[in-house]
Structure 1
Amino acid sequence: MYHPYFRGKQFELLAVRESAEVMEKASFVPIIEPVRESLNGLERALEAISDAGGRAIVIINPRHGDHKANGASISAFLEDNYRGNDAISAGVLLLSGHALDEAKALISTHANHELTIVHSGFTSPRELADWLRDQPAPVTNVFIEDQASTLYRKHFSGSTRVLVRDGFVQMKNADYDRVDPFSDLHVTYPELGMQGYGDFLTVGDRFTEGGGPAYAVAIHLTYIDPEQDDEMFVYHFKSDSNETPTDPGQKFIEALSKLIAALDSGSSHLLETSAIEEFRRLYQAKHFPGLGYVKKLSIRHHLETLAEYHRTVDA
């Protein structure tokens, strides 16, 4: 059903660990693209998923980060730790620079395991689809929406198909409106002939290693609006003192105060998740835990919001 797409930064992997039970209960299957040379954080995240009885997909040839030139250590890690464990499976990322023979070689490396192919710019769908039909193991095809057209996806009909949409528009924090549309895929994916859907959470697809000090602090939180056919939107609660990058703690409290006011209005449609409870505690303590921690809470809130939606709709 839902496949949240994570990059393996520290705060994202922490969110995976802390949300492992939530994702398992909701039958969510995260896709994780490791971007750090050390795989210790990934190992702890997968242990949490396994302990919860959940499933995950690990990209063996990342596009970004420390493993983009060679993902052999990721394949070796999966072979050493999760061979024969279908709960943790391999994912192959196919990009515009991949030739057909290269794609076949990547897939054949894991031919005896359940495999996920993430299509993101690959240019030979017909030939690949014809070849896949003769392979022994079933394949799940995940399509990054703006890199795999409807016509492209048509070649893989008959397989398990998942559509991933980047609902989070990345810009400078100070430039966000208060609310933006996020996605309706959680409602519409069956109408598009898909068996599942995904997104890049409240982080977005564009990968950055981190910038300089923030002039503005923003808290990004998603919500589902039952008055808008259950479409998902995202709030951007922003700081006010954005002229200089000084005092990020004060900026956070300014943004947090706007979040608390929206919650207390009773009309925000924000679900009272465990992350919201933590934001309330931070407001009471007037404590700034760091921007990575805030992003982690935003991700947890997003996962719990979608888990509750499917719990009620699919019941």
Structure 2
Amino acid sequence: MYYPFFRGKQFELLAIRESAEVIADAGFNPIIEPVRETFSGLQRTLQELVNQGATAAVIVNPRYGDLKNDGENLAAYLTQSYGDNDAISPALLLTSTMNVDDVLEKMSPYEERPLHLVHAGFTDGKGLAASLPAGDYTHIFLDARNTLYRRPFKGGRRILVEDGFERKKNADYGFRDRFSDLHVTFDELGGDGYGDFLTVGDHYAEGGGPAYAVAIHLTFIDSVQDDAMFVYHFVSDTNDTPVDPAGKFSQALGKLIAEVDRDGSNVLETSAVQEFRDLHDRGHFPGLGYVKKLSIKHHLETLAYFHSNA
């Protein structure tokens, strides 16, 4: 049903690993695009998913990070480690630089396996649909609203993904933004499931400079708004210089705690929120990667709770 799209940075892999039981119990299917040359973090993450009985798909031809020009070692690792285990499926990115023959060539090593095809800018959907050999395919469409492109794949398993997270400078975020309604409307749009890029967004960058502002992002589902999902942005106040990130985090965290403690708050009391409470009580700054990890875990738990109670 839900196919969250991750890039394989350390804090994202940690979020998956720590949420593996939630992912398995909810029947979520993460899509992971590895971006690091070393596979140790990916290996631990996939093993924890398998241990918990979850499934996942791993992109064998990443377009970002250390492996963007050479995914052969990654493909070999996945074949060796999970070639006979369909809990971890290969996934292929179909980009604008590829034609139908390119896609079929990249598919050939996996013709005996379930395969995820991630449509990420590929343009000849009609030609590809007519050329696909018989097989077990899950089509992941990163442009969820492009109904004309995905029409030729009708009858197959179609997952609609959109980026609900609008990326801005931290200081420029307002208090609340709309995130998505795909978790409610994907079937009306012709999808068999849906996905998003969580509270990270589709934008990829190796790293940023010093933070002038600290922002904590928490998603919530508003039953008054037909169960649409929104996101709160809790932003620090002293944003003129990059000094004192711990103080900036404390300012943002204080706003988060005030909101989750407010009567009538829509924010679910997840394990991540409990960790935020503990950080607030201890006055501890764990680093910005850790904060992003907690936001991701909260997003996963929020959607798991929604689907279990829908």
1:152 is matched with which residue: 149, 153, 159?
149
* Kept after mapping to 2: 8 A contact 1:119/1:144: yes
Task: Quote the offset at 1:268 in angstroms.
Answer: 2.4
Q: Matches of residues 55-66 of structure 1 in structure 2 within 5 Å?
A: 55-66=55-66
Q: Does 1:46 align with 2:46?
A: yes
**Partner residue in 1 for 2:140:** 142
**SS of the residue 2:195 aligns to:** strand
Query: Aligned residue for 2:218?
Result: 221
TM-superposed CA distance for 1:70, in Å, is 1.2
Identify the residue that residue 129 of structure 2 maps to in structure 1. 129
> Deviations along 1:133-156, whole A, 9 cap, x unmatched?
xx232111000016x721101010
Write the mapping of 1:152-231 to structure 2, written as runs, cut at 5 A. 152-231=149-228
> How many angstroms apart in 2 are the aligned matches of 1:23 and 1:151?
31
| 8 Å contact kept, 1:140–1:161 | yes
- Contact 1:162–1:195 (8 Å) recurs in 2: yes
- In the alignment of these two chains, the number of paired residues is 310
Superposition TM-score, scaled by structure 2 size: 0.99
Deviations 1:97-132 (A, max 9, x none): 112211111111211100000001101111100111
- Corresponding residue SS for 2:119: strand
Q: Confirm or deny: 8 A CA contact 1:190 1:196 kept in the other structure.
A: yes
* Aligned CA-pair RMSD: 0.8
Which residue of structure 1 aligns with residue 2 of structure 2? 2
Shift of residue 244, structure 1, vs aligned partner: 0.2
Farther off after superposition, 43-52 or 104-113 = 104-113
Spell out the pairing of 1:1-315 with structure 2 (5 A cutoff): 1-132=1-132, 135-145=133-143, 149-313=146-310
Structure 2: runs of 5+ lacking an equivalent? none
Residues 112 and 136 of structure 1 are in contact (CA less than 8 Å); yes or no, is this contact kept in structure 2?
no
In 1, Cα distance between equivalents of 2:265 and 2:74: 42
Indicate conservation of the 8 Å contact 1:94/1:120, yes or no: yes
Structure 1 residue runs without a partner (length 5+): none
Q: Secondary structure at the match of 2:110?
A: coil
* Alpha-carbon distance between aligned partners in 1 of 2:111 and 2:164, rounded to the nearest angstrom: 32
Q: Give the Cα separation in 2 of the matches to 1:138 and 1:238.
A: 45
Residue type at the aligned position of 2:299: H
